[in-house]
Structure 1
Amino acid sequence: MAQTRRLPPPLPFSQQVAIFSRLAESNPKPETELNFTNPYTLVVAVALSAQATDVGVNKATKGLFAIADTPQAMLALGVEGVTEHIKTIGLFRQKAKNVIALSRILVDEFGGEVPDSRAALTSLPGVGRKTANVVLNSAFNFPSQAVDTHIFRVGNRTHIAPGRDVDEVERAIENNVPVRYQQDAHHWLILHGRYICQARRPRCAVCIISDLCPYEEKTI
């Protein structure tokens, strides 16, 4: 029988405060790097971002959102119209179908408005828990934690939020990161993972929290 990997304890409160105070000082108002104009375009952008880069999604949605920034306008384009705009990103055919399907549900069941409920959001095609958490955080200012591969890596390397899977890391952030930093925590962590604490070779020499991080394989 395989043994369950033992997790290290999360960093103590004082170190959590020290880390997030530095991240906050460095970037006081972190935001998602996906371009959007309203909750609906954010839902679409995040749904399109699966297995695609934010840069690639932004290029694809620039023209799309210029003509369709409501579910009604998106439905008028149809699957073929959406496909034509997003064909440069991965899985574009299925994503186009999902965008039209979620737009139809928003119109038929939610009066054309994006619901501020995780359960309602995850009922939409192509919208999982991570997408719902991004929307709740960035569109509705709810301190939800959208854990992706970057946050999973940073949470475990730094012991800010150790976890065996994304759900455990999400709970660890909620349980251990001071409340004052919860609203922006996932933005700071994803940006830190994307640009500093990278997967193959973390940039420890320029990391502002390196002295507080217990990661043993630091680069020089």
Structure 2
Amino acid sequence: MYRFSFFVALISYSTAINAQQIELRLHGCQTKSDKTYFCQLSNLGPIAIPAIEYNVTLAEDGRTFPWAEHRSGQEIAGGLEPGETMDLAIQLPTLPLRANEENVSISVELLPQYLPPPRPPADAPATAKTFANQVEACFNRSTLSSAAANGAIDVNVTGLKIQKVKNYVTDDAAAEQLFQAARRAILVCMSRNGTADVDVSLRFDGSGVHGLPSDY
């Protein structure tokens, strides 16, 4: 039978306008089959969590590399409110036949979470809305990681100058990936439509591209 280990996740989340703390804890973990690892997940922080991502590793002391690794995640129906605990069934990766499961330990690491950003204001200028619709047609989400695709950023566009002004992605690499995808979409749109003379603010999130008030 596998040995168990797991990581408590203390994940900081910050934006340009506020700072929040995400604090999750895995506990009570046990295996009930060679394919599933059952744990309890508690939200010890002050804000609700809409989804989780985690990395599962099967390793053996003394070996340079793990036997198996698997990254996964799931949406949480209804979210996980502050103070709530839920059961979590984690699917285990397949252990090679030459591994001795008596010497193998399971590690579960919770990965940085994303939080849904505020809804975009409805009073964006018509020029920003029009440009957002054009950029939407050029925005390619297929190459984004789940953290980037479910996060959001706000950007200012002044001519060919594109600047990130607010960030709603907790993972730095995912935030940069989303910004570069947004930047490419804007430049492709400008080239395709001949609209280089713009001064707008846009939000890129999981639901699309939105125009924002210029002073947002």
TM-score (norm 2): 0.22
TM-score normalised over the length of structure 1? 0.22
Larger Rg: 2
Q: Say which structure is richer in helix.
A: 1
